[in-house]
Amino acid sequence: MSTIKVDTLQTRAGSTAAVTGAGFVATDQIRGNTAANSVTVVAEGGTNTTNLQQGLAKSWINFNGTGTIAARDSFNHSSLTDASAGNHTVTMASAMGNVNYSFTGGVAESNASSASRVVNFGSNFDSDTLDPNFTTTAYSVNTFFCNSDGQEFDVTFISNQIFGDLA
Amino acid sequence: MSVLELNGRVFDASTTGTLTLTSEGGATTTDVTQGLDKSWVNWNCTGTAAVRDSFNHSSLTDNGTGDFTLTVSSAMTNGDYCRSGMAGHAANSQQVVSQAEANTVATATQGRYVIAYANHNLEDSAYAGVVLHGDLA
């Protein structure tokens, strides 16, 4: 194995990245060399590789869907809209590359006597249509009782994660 | 293609947990630290509940039928992280639902999850999975 000992890496333009400790590279930004938008990472098992960009959640949020709805914590999120009971629109700060992104989520009610809730995305049960606000920057979150036959209810704890291509 | 081999870790310059990555579309950037899943668990709820595989997970507590507490090894900064999950049963086609937090609010190290049929009855499903995103301490 070859060893290069260095304290600082410097680009031709003068930007630097420090090499510190046991195998740490201290840097603020990672950019692919062959393609700026694609960085490959060796898998845990060592056989395959995976794509760093594709594996990251592009947006996530934990919010309270009751009363005046509000985010508890979030990433790449700009605003929340309370359209109606159990029907909320989440708007992201940085847009996705298209509307074909993947979403997942969970809901919970802290009331011990509460029934199970489910969460859907992009469906507008008030109008029985796909939500018109489903865009590269926004998506609707719809929460229901499991057996509510399409009737939406507000929920105290709502979590969503978005995966896909960032613009 | 350039390959940079490291001894397992990449730190940001200021050690504040911010590491920027060029987006797929190239028009913007995203935050690697914020985008990374901080914990995931795949477990079997039936019989003696057992974890099949996991990341940043230390223990699984069986609180009763369809009711579990998951504890992470490395703590989050608070209980306001984002969590989602799915569940399924191998023995029949009835749909079960994974629901974060039954009666307790999540803490920096623990979250409580229930598995239920659509009729609200709790069930020990064969497959349950939970993933967490948020701020690691």
What is the pTM assigned to this prediction? Answer: 0.85
Is the residue at A43 inside a domain?
yes
* pLDDT for the residue A105: 87
| Residue partners of B63: CB distance under 8 A and separation at least 6 | B69, B112
Is the residue at A73 inside a domain?
yes
Is the residue at A106 inside a domain?
yes
User: Does B136 reach chain A within 8 Å, measured CB to CB?
Assistant: no
A103 and A81 share one domain: yes
A141 and A64 share one domain: yes
Contacts 24+ apart (CB under 8 A), A29-36: A29/B19, A29/B20, A29/B21, A29/B22, A29/B29, A30/B10, A30/B19, A30/B20, A30/B21, A30/B22, A30/B32, A31/B21, A31/B22, A32/B22, A33/B1, A33/B2, A34/B1, A34/B2, A36/B22, A36/B26
Select from B13, B35, B117 the Cβ nearest to the Cβ of A18.
B13
Instruction: Give the integer Cα–Cα distance in Å for A135 and A112.
Output: 36
Q: Which helix (H) or strand (E) holds B33?
A: helix B32-35
Is the residue at A104 inside a domain?
yes
What are the sequence ranges of the domains in chain B? 37-133
Mean pLDDT on B41-61: 94
- Contacts of residue A143 in chain B, CB cutoff 8 Å? none
Is the residue at A2 inside a domain?
no
A106 and A154 share one domain: yes
* pLDDT for the residue A112: 47
Domain that holds residue A37: 8-55
Task: State pLDDT tens for residues A29-81.
Answer: 888 888 989 999 888 888 888 999 999 999 999 999 999 999 999 999 999 99
Structural domain count, chain A: 2
User: Does B137 reach chain A within 8 Å, measured CB to CB?
Assistant: no
- Contacts of residue B114 in chain A, CB cutoff 8 Å? 116
User: Does B66 reach chain A within 8 Å, measured CB to CB?
Assistant: no
A112 and A149 share one domain: yes
* pLDDT for the residue A123: 64
Mean pLDDT on A102-109: 83
Mutation target among A74, A75, A96, A163 for the B interface, most CBs of B within 10 A = A75
A48 and A70 share one domain: no
A36 and A82 share one domain: no
Task: State pLDDT tens for residues B10-25.
Answer: 666 555 667 889 999 9
A58, HSE (Cβ side, Cα atoms, 13 Å):
28
